[in-house]
Amino acid sequence: MRKAFFSRARAVPSLAARTVVMLLLARGVASCHEPAPKSAVSPDPSAEVIAPDASTPPAGASSSAPGGAAAPSAPEAESDRQLAGYVCKSAGCRVASEEAAGVTAQGLRLSVVKVVTAADMRRATCEPLEYWSVARDGARIVSARRALSIPCDASTVDIASDDVRVRENELERLTAGGTATRYNARAIVRLFPLRSRTEERSAWMTTAPNFETSSWSLDEFAGKNAWFSPKCVKGGVPPAASGSFAELGDRKARHDYTPIPAVDIEESFRTSKWRQVHLGKCSALASATGASGFVLKGGIGTDDDGYFRVVASLDGDLFVDIKDNKWTAPKKRGDAREDQLEIWVGGDLPSFSRKCVRGLPNVTSFTVRVADGKLTAGYGKPDISRITVDRHAQTFGDQYGWAHFKIHLPAQPGSLTVVYRDGDDGRSVDRIFATSRVVAGDATTLGALHVVARDAATCKVKDGNLEPVLAGD
């Protein structure tokens, strides 16, 4: 069985980096905080409860009033009686509040229920919290799902603020804090059907120019990442401190990249349909316009000047679609002036929290000739015998068209950048654009994968394109 290659995104190897991630996602209520989850707002599918019949109370809910009297028959009373039984799963749990969150197109009334799950006997000020998405048809509860869990954990510190906001069919969480290393995080979840929408994180040092930012939107199926840690000077120490997170701004020193989604892809596409089906929204885009990706040479162009899309499957295949207004293929194979894909592969990207970067991982590259899929080893002279390339094109020559590629890599890349070298006149490379601001041989300038969990989204063929199918949609 083929090993699943694309199993995770950028690694965070150091203790300091793990601490920052915890801080990014931490939540404090007085002196209690949340251990670092993967997401600041994390819908929990296992927490869903569906009430098929309002006359059947959930486990733990009393079916009669005190003294043996019949339960209230009013729909509101029945709904209130059900609510605590659905959202309270532990002794000492209580419903703290309920806030309206709009009405769905189907007429379901939404709310967010704040629950204190239990008292923490170790710290009297600590209240572990849960936020539940509740949908009602009239007074009847038809769905109750835990959208956010905030347990007590005194191991994290310096939580300056944490705000949970309820809007129409939406829950937003904002956190901020830190001391020498500051951080903030923002996450948005759709309440019904419940799923994550957006995650954003930033962290930066107040005494050095080190920083990291990342964002991912399931709605757009796209994200942006940037980070910076200076290269060490002689003696393995940072250079003289200059600038800060705020001052870095658009400096070329920062490492920007468009994350490439690694996602569960429909089998029929992976085996055969990739030849004819185009990569749609379920892929990262790099364009000559610079609107997505990065133009490295030739200046900003138009859509006709070309673009490519790229996505990785969870079992190790890389799919790339190229569209161009003029194909170029000099007679001599391997000529650098021809249209080429250039793939850069490296180890895990360094953590921004390192005072300075040294001992960079090895980085290699190879090129794929667009005219025929011919492989050529590039920087670092990788063993290309372990790489396979399949190609299918609509047209080739001086005619606008597309070329599709399926590239299988021999191992999981810790970092990855895809480049298109566009040579329209056959005499020079007119334009180069890529998924990161890659510099030949510099491992810090590569991008990385963004792994999408199977229970969050999959990619399927729809209307001639590969499109994301999001959980709950």
pTM: 0.81
- Euclidean distance between CA atoms 447 and 417, whole angstroms: 5
- Euclidean distance between CA atoms 342 and 375, whole angstroms: 10
- Euclidean distance between CA atoms 317 and 408, whole angstroms: 5
- Euclidean distance between CA atoms 208 and 230, whole angstroms: 9
Amino acid (1-letter code) at residue 416: L
Two tokens, residue 299 = 């200046």
* CB crowding 406-443: b at 16 or more within 10 Å, else e: bbbbeebbbbbbbbbbbbbeeeebbbbbbbbbbeeeeb
Two tokens, residue 412 = 């999981």
CA 334 to centroid of chain Cα atoms: 36
Residue 229 · residue 221 · CB < 8 Å: no
Q: Is the peptide bond before 193 cis (omega within 30 degrees of 0)?
A: yes
- Euclidean distance between CA atoms 407 and 315, whole angstroms: 12
Show Cβ contacts of residue 21 under 8 Å, excluding neighbours closer than 6 positions: 12, 36
- Euclidean distance between CA atoms 32 and 214, whole angstroms: 26
The ranges assigned to domains in the chain are 15-56+75-206, 225-470
CATH T-level fold of 225-470:
Immunoglobulin-like (2.60.40)
pLDDT in tens, the chain (473 residues): 444 443 334 433 433 333 333 333 333 333 333 333 333 454 554 445 554 333 344 444 433 333 333 444 445 555 676 788 889 877 888 899 999 999 999 999 999 999 998 765 455 566 788 999 999 999 889 999 999 988 776 544 567 888 999 999 999 999 998 888 899 999 999 999 999 999 999 999 988 889 999 999 999 999 999 999 988 988 888 887 655 544 554 455 789 999 999 999 999 999 999 999 999 999 999 999 999 999 999 888 887 888 999 999 998 899 999 998 888 765 555 556 688 999 999 999 999 999 899 877 789 999 999 989 999 999 999 999 999 999 998 865 555 689 999 999 988 899 999 999 987 766 678 899 999 999 999 999 999 999 999 999 999 999 999 999 998 77
